[in-house]
Amino acid sequence: MFRRKLTALDYHNPSGFDCKDETEFRNFIVWLEDQKIRHYKIEDRGNLRNIPSSGWPKSFEQYLQDVNCPFTVEERQESVDWLLGLAVRLEYGDNVEKYKNCPPATATETEKPSDPLIHLDSSNPDFKAGVLGLASLLKIQRHDDYLVMLKVRTSGNRGLPVALDKHILGFDTGDATLNEAAQILRLLHIEDLRDLQTRINEAIVAVQAVIADPKTDHRLGKVGR
């Protein structure tokens, strides 16, 4: 389920990696920290490198906390996906000159633009892990249907285009795509809050009109008894 990110990071076995295999999983985490993330100093990686140790899960739990991963050791697939996203981002940061001159992929004349959501496979483990990660960061209630967690209320009128780079997210998921999705969801949430406030204001005005005191409200056209 992690093949594309593992391939991007030049992992030796991107198609055969099995995070459920305890030994392979522990070796993978050591490789990821040693070669890509490098959050710890070399001399501080001893506990993580001690793969046979019965205390390794505790060391890994501490590692997740140290890199600010939002997932726990029990959420293995989600934590692996998050760490891979972090590694990809750091890999790009280390090789920005190498990648910035790469020509962007262009669509052929026969290709027509389409809605990318059409091609989403909600049963794909990568998709599930990404949605769960985003839901956890944004404090969205989990649902058995992963697509439900992505649904938002749409309004009848189209708004003006928004430059996402001008809006600070406030946290980093470690994945550029998730960061952008989080920004969009946050802006939509703010829009909903504004709409709710407008409705509340309208309700207050309506209630005031009903219970207004004729002694002080000149709109009623008469003075109180």
Nearest to 135, CA basis, from 120, 152, 121 = 152
What is the per-residue pLDDT across 37-85, written as a single tens digit (0 to 9) for each?
Answer: 999 999 999 999 999 999 999 999 999 999 999 999 999 999 999 999 8
The pair of structure tokens assigned to 201 is 């204001």
Where on the phi/psi map is residue 220: left (φ > 0), alpha (ψ -120 to 50), or beta?
Answer: alpha
pLDDT range class, residue 93, cuts 50, 70, 90? confident
Q: How far is the C-alpha of 183 from the C-alpha of 86, rounded, in Å?
A: 18
Q: How far is the C-alpha of 103 from the C-alpha of 141, rounded, in Å?
A: 40
Q: Write the burial class of residue 83 (CB in 10 Å: 0-12 exposed, 13-18 middle, 19+ buried).
A: buried
Instruction: Note the pLDDT of residue 84.
Output: 92
What is the per-residue pLDDT across 169-188, written as a single tens digit (0 to 9) for each?
Answer: 666 667 777 777 777 777 77
Can you give the length of the chain in residues?
A: 225
Q: How far is the C-alpha of 88 from the C-alpha of 177, rounded, in Å?
A: 12
Nearest to 2, CA basis, from 116, 119, 125 = 125
What is the per-residue pLDDT across 101-131, written as a single tens digit (0 to 9) for each?
Answer: 666 655 444 444 444 455 556 666 666 677 6
For the chain, percent of residues with pLDDT exceeding 70? 56
The pair of structure tokens assigned to 111 is 């290709």
Q: How far is the C-alpha of 106 from the C-alpha of 111, rounded, in Å?
A: 10
